[in-house]
Structure 1
């Protein structure tokens, strides 16, 4: 009776379906087909064998951790931020295994696939991960960075990376960062502003990755104008009742919840530090009929009991003066 090569490998080596992938396409195909072992040249260097592990749903949090240097902020990963993964996961299961390395304490450190990991936790699904025994720190960072390129980081996460480059001296200023990260200086400025905001404040939103530069810049300005004690009170409000702001919203859909959160934060900031409104004196021109207010170069007229003919004459006069 004929025997499959994969079965022969299993009998000889105790491992089934061993693949050697020399290109990203081959690696992707092997991963999709969930080959038991994949051999990869990590960072184009030595060949490393990754074995497919299946972690039971109730053991994912206990048996796996996320690589500490992963640029993706794990606290942002909720059902809204992971909706793209969760929809597929619930219907067809995990399509592509994650990638990790075995730590000295026996736990699996996830290098590529932190979003898939959290999705499995939220959906209570089995977690598939390719695990290697000998991955050094440099290669671990390489795998993690390559993985994050598939799903764009939020402005906050990009800003954290950029700030670390400034702190380490790898980049001198925002212009150097723009060149290093191949983006505009405006984006660099927005990302750094995002990174300067407290994590607890950004966690108010359902999906931080959806926050654009205008929202971040506005929030940064509003928050920066508060003194330290009021900033602390705002953060406290964000975590009141043990629930995040987005979890308290009654709006439906991420876009509407995001808008609702922004409006809520603005209301709280206004309560904590009401804006001083300059007094505008109203002057009566014709008592009971015409009054006006003047603010800077602006003039506002308030007229009562004006018939159509008079209105037309007044408008024509104004038009003739301002054309």
Structure 2
């Protein structure tokens, strides 16, 4: 009998508990269909693929629970520190359990000079996109009241720090010319990427930034291709196609949005389609919108939202197609009887009718036309 991680397969398939019929001939095993399993209430995986999916879902659920626990634990400890701040305990150490390694890491709440902080390469968010407009949801509050929620740092060489989570707050604090409030501790490498993902749940990165991160994972050899990456992460083939289109975006089309996070997943495909209609006009309009953004930054004026931006880009390549004009035939004649008749049909097709020429002359005419038009048979 065959056995695997899901139990005794032969017993599952036989349905009876015996491998022989009454006439002692071997019973032929048949795998029950998934539909039959549902009808009979059987929730056992019907294939190895189903089992792997179940394992993946179980692991993802466990990791999500660990993330939630980490956030709750962090919030409770920060609340306790806030209450005790008056007694001078802001620098007191706190201990947090990491979501991946389950290690307990001791953190110290500190204020750090922003010039000493480097954003982790594992952070998916592209820092160059963070300006006063894209940070308008947190910047005014930080300027007025200071940074209230700390980020996470770990010490590196030469007295510097690697930012694990809180890059938007770091950018806002830099603009406000303040020190950065952070929990500083020796976070294990395995937890670095996961803590960055926790941060992005509060303000998700754009499809462009996510697609760039996926591309890096493929380039590092974590996945062989986009199809494998999509299957592993549970992303549909249509969404994977849209992420691939986002990777091809010129940065100018990301920068013209109020915030990269406003970008719809279909944005890359939309821009690719508009390029086919008029790439030069499209890029020209995008540059105009980027100039508008620079003015808005200096003069504190409002920018069009993402839907308005897409409408403006579409209008830039929306040109009226003129109906072709038909030409009346024009006939050219030579003294030795040769004629050339030239006309244009109402569908815009040019026609030449030549009479009185020999094969060698016709070949020269044909050679001239194919060479001039750079066409081949």
1:89 correspondence with 2:142: yes
Q: Which residue of 2 aligns with 1:155?
A: 207
8 A contact 1:246–1:261 mirrored in 2: no
List per-residue Cα deviations over 1:185-213 (Å, max 9, x = no partner): 33322222112112244222221210213
Q: Which residue of 2 aligns with 1:38?
A: 94
| C-alpha separation in 1, matches of 2:96 and 2:167 | 20
Structure 1's 183 and 85: CA in aligned 2 closer, same or farther, altered over 3 A?
A: farther
| C-alpha separation in 1, matches of 2:151 and 2:117 | 11
List per-residue Cα deviations over 1:35-81 (Å, max 9, x = no partner): 532212323433221111113xxx42x12221122111111112232
1:254-293 correspondence to structure 2 within 5 Å = 254=303, 256-258=304-306, 261-262=309-310, 265=313, 270=317, 277=321, 279-280=323-324
1:235 positional shift: 8.0
Q: Which residue of 2 aligns with 1:104?
A: 157
8 A contact 1:65–1:108 mirrored in 2: yes
Structure 1's 223 and 169: CA in aligned 2 closer, same or farther, altered over 3 A?
A: farther
List per-residue Cα deviations over 1:103-158 (Å, max 9, x = no partner): 102122111100111111223334201112x3343333332233223321101011
Unpaired runs of 5+ residues, structure 1, are: 1-21, 283-293, 296-323
| C-alpha separation in 2, matches of 1:197 and 1:224 | 14
1:192 paired residue among 213, 230, 244: 244
| C-alpha separation in 1, matches of 2:288 and 2:323 | 36
8 A contact 2:205–2:260 mirrored in 1: no
Q: Which residue of 1 aligns with 2:373?
A: none
8 A contact 1:200–1:235 mirrored in 2: no
| C-alpha separation in 2, matches of 1:69 and 1:116 | 17
| C-alpha separation in 1, matches of 2:103 and 2:300 | 52
| C-alpha separation in 1, matches of 2:119 and 2:129 | 14
| C-alpha separation in 1, matches of 2:140 and 2:131 | 13
**Max radius of gyration: which structure?**
2
1:259 positional shift: 5.0
Structure 1's 92 and 186: CA in aligned 2 closer, same or farther, altered over 3 A?
A: farther
1:24 positional shift: 3.5
1:67 correspondence with 2:111: no
1:145 paired residue among 194, 197, 200: 197
Quick one: higher RCO (CA 8 Å, sep 6+), 1 or 2?
A: 1
| Farther off after superposition, 34-43 or 119-128 | 34-43
SS in 2 for 1:84: coil
1:160 positional shift: 1.2
SS in 2 for 1:39: strand
1:50 paired residue among 64, 86, 107: 107
Unpaired runs of 5+ residues, structure 2, are: 1-68, 83-89, 327-345, 348-377
| C-alpha separation in 2, matches of 1:278 and 1:180 | 50
8 A contact 2:256–2:286 mirrored in 1: no
SS in 1 for 2:229: helix
Q: Which residue of 2 aligns with 1:238?
A: 287
| Farther off after superposition, 139-148 or 62-71 | 139-148
**Count of residues paired in the alignment:** 248
Structure 1's 265 and 107: CA in aligned 2 closer, same or farther, altered over 3 A?
A: farther
Structure 1's 234 and 127: CA in aligned 2 closer, same or farther, altered over 3 A?
A: same
Q: Which residue of 2 aligns with 1:25?
A: 72
Q: Which residue of 1 aligns with 2:180?
A: 127
Q: Which residue of 1 aligns with 2:232?
A: 180
TM-score by length of structure 2 reads: 0.55
